[in-house]
Amino acid sequence: MRRLSWISQTWVRRQLREKELQIPGNLWPMFVYENETYDDEEPWKGLFRGDLIVKGFKHIFTSPTSVDKDPKATRAGNAKIHGMTSVTPASIAYVATQVRFALSSAGAFCRTDTETDSESFYTSVLELFEDSEEQEEVQELLTWWNSKIFPSFSNPMKPIPANSVYSRIKEKRAALKALAASSHPNPRS
């Protein structure tokens, strides 16, 4: 595991400060990774689980006080007001874009700003989330996010407890289907 350390180079910091160097939106900053650590062998490891994104998400969608787990929220957050009950890929991309902008030296947010290249950043994040080959990791990420933001969120992928009424109903349904299938053999066999 390693950190991408090119930003620690003095000449890079100087060029960024003097606006001689611009970072394109499709180069993702370290804050998108948990503990700001990128693993070249496992690039999905910790991706979009960074603390700044989680805090940014809570600040924007649940309430600023939820960032510190303060139970004294004074009003409903944006998620509640707008009926948001689960985290979406677009909401993660939006928050990551907002955090990236907040960490920049840009004076105003504009999607076509060439200094922060926010539109390209947002689009590249969404492209990853929409890539058909990445859906297993995306679903795992959304499950992780929902456990952090909406703890009562019901994950359809959760295993059904073996001793529950629901599992017994599923067993009975499977037995009835098997019985029906054996009663009406396939005429082609």
Structure confidence by residue, pLDDT tens digits, 154-183: 555 566 677 778 778 888 888 888 888 887
48 and 135 housed in the same domain: yes
154 and 183 housed in the same domain: no
- Count CB-CB contacts under 10 A for residue 2: 9
Average pLDDT over residues 61-89: 61
94 or 112, which is more confident? 94
Query: Which amino acid, one-letter code, is at 62?
Result: T
pLDDT at 128: 95
| Structural contact between residues 79 and 62, judged by C-beta atoms closer than 8 angstroms | yes
- Report the number of distinct structural domains present in the chain: 2
Average pLDDT over residues 128-141: 94
153 and 185 housed in the same domain: no
Of 41-50, 76-85, 177-186, the range with the lowest mean pLDDT is 76-85
110 and 170 housed in the same domain: no
What tokens were used for 167?
Answer: 């599992």
CA 119 to chain centre: 18
pLDDT at 11: 72
Percentage, residues of the chain above pLDDT 70: 67
Average pLDDT over residues 181-188: 71
38 and 56 housed in the same domain: yes
In the predicted structure, residue 111 carries a pLDDT above the cut 70 = no
Phi, psi for 126 (deg, rounded to 5): -65, -35
187 and 132 housed in the same domain: no
pLDDT at 61: 77
146 and 187 housed in the same domain: no
Q: What is the pLDDT of residues 1-36, one digit of tens each?
A: 344 444 556 776 777 677 776 777 777 888 899 998
Helix, strand, coil percentages for the chain (3-state, nearest 5): 55, 0, 45
135 and 186 housed in the same domain: no
130: in domain: yes
104: in domain: yes
Query: Which amino acid, one-letter code, is at 182?
Result: S
128 and 103 housed in the same domain: yes
What tokens were used for 53?
Answer: 């994104």
- Which residues constitute the domain of residue 187? 161-189
88: in domain: yes
- Compute the distance between CA of residue 151 and CA of residue 57 in angstroms, rounded to an integer: 14
1: in domain: no
